[in-house]
Amino acid sequence: MADTQPQRCTLIIKNGCLVTMEPRRTIIPRGAIAIEGNTIAAVGTVSAILRDWQAPEVIDANAAVVHPGYVDAHLHANAQTCRGFFRGDASKGSKVGPSYADWKATLTPDDENAAAGLASVEMLRHGITTFVEPGSAFEPDAVAAATQQVGIRCTLAEPYLWDTTEVMDAIPGLASKSLVARVPPDAVVANSRQHGVHHPQQADRDRHRDAADLHPVEHHAQVAVGSDEQQSQCHRHEDPERQEPVQR
């Protein structure tokens, strides 16, 4: 019988402790992954993968944990550059020092792009390959551009902070005339009604944007890998019958 030639793939990650997250929760202490483009082609022991697959690039995980990418389900990407600057709990407000809400109201698209880029790099370094921005970005396209450049997936919504200023009673740190002027509550309600949505938060879910292709990410003690099912181009739903892709 003729020897079977190894299949070709783009990348092999070897010598990792594989946490597969399959139904049986199989863990392969000394495992390897064959990756073709953005698709996981095979998972198994190091000996089996190196026998059956060849790749121009091989990453030695050095016993790091290799797992599916984590998901951060609630991240205010545009606030990443102010961490540690405002005293106490910014949501409660402070009589001392600058106002978080007034600062937020001044954010430009360049500010949001830089903050989202910082957040994306930090997340990838810690095994997070997907995040949800809960409608707090003024310019979703600026955030989307940053995630595409870094190579992380996200879900975005049009700006939604409130449909009534009564929320400021619970979160006094948002009591800012400049922030209300930036995102008027009546505009949020009108935007929701325009799309035939009874609740503004539903509009967030309907008008989402998935950004960027995933790539395997290596970190000191772990490697996060995205599957082909998670691949998506950045898109935006503003009209039920029309999809307008964000320009790359």
Say what the alpha-carbon torsion angle 35, 153, 143, 185 is, to the nearest 10 degrees.
Answer: 170
Measured over all CA atoms, what is the biggest interatomic distance in the chain, rounded to whole angstroms?
81
**Where would I find the H helices in 134-235?**
140-150, 167-170, 177-182, 185-194, 200-206
Q: What is the pLDDT of residue 237?
A: 32
**12-26, 124-138, 219-233: range with lowest mean pLDDT:** 219-233
Percent of the chain with pLDDT over 70: 69
DSSP 56-94: SEEEE-TT-EEEEPEEES---GGGGGGTTTS-S-TTT--
The number of residues making up the chain comes to 248
**43-47, 52-56, 138-142, 231-235: range with lowest mean pLDDT:** 231-235
3 state SS of 210: strand
Instruction: Give residue for tokens 């944007």.
Output: 209
Q: What is the pLDDT of residue 91?
A: 65
Q: What is the pLDDT of residue 168?
A: 77
Strand partners, 210: 155
Instruction: Give residue for tokens 């995102």.
Output: 183
Q: Which of the 8 DSSP states describes residue 2? A: P
Are 16 and 50 contacting, i.e. CB atoms less than 8 angstroms apart?
no
Q: What is the mean pLDDT of the chain?
A: 76
Question: What angle do helix axes 109-125 and 140-150 make, rounded to 10 degrees?
Answer: 40
| pLDDT at residue 235 tops 80 | no
* Best CATH choice for the domain 7-68 from the list 2.40.50.100, 3.30.590.10, 2.30.40.10, 1.10.1740.10: 2.30.40.10
**pLDDT tens digit string along 35-93?**
999 899 999 999 999 999 999 999 999 999 998 899 999 999 999 998 878 766 666 66
Query: What pTM was estimated for this model as a whole?
Result: 0.68
**13-27, 59-73, 166-180, 227-241: range with lowest mean pLDDT:** 227-241
3 state SS of 169: helix
Say what the alpha-carbon torsion angle 89, 95, 96, 97 is, to the nearest 10 degrees.
Answer: 80
Ranges for all domains in the chain classified under CATH 2.30.40.10: 7-68
Q: What is the pLDDT of residue 243?
A: 34
Percent of the chain with pLDDT over 90: 46
**pLDDT tens digit string along 156-198?**
988 877 777 777 788 877 788 898 888 887 765 445 444 333 3
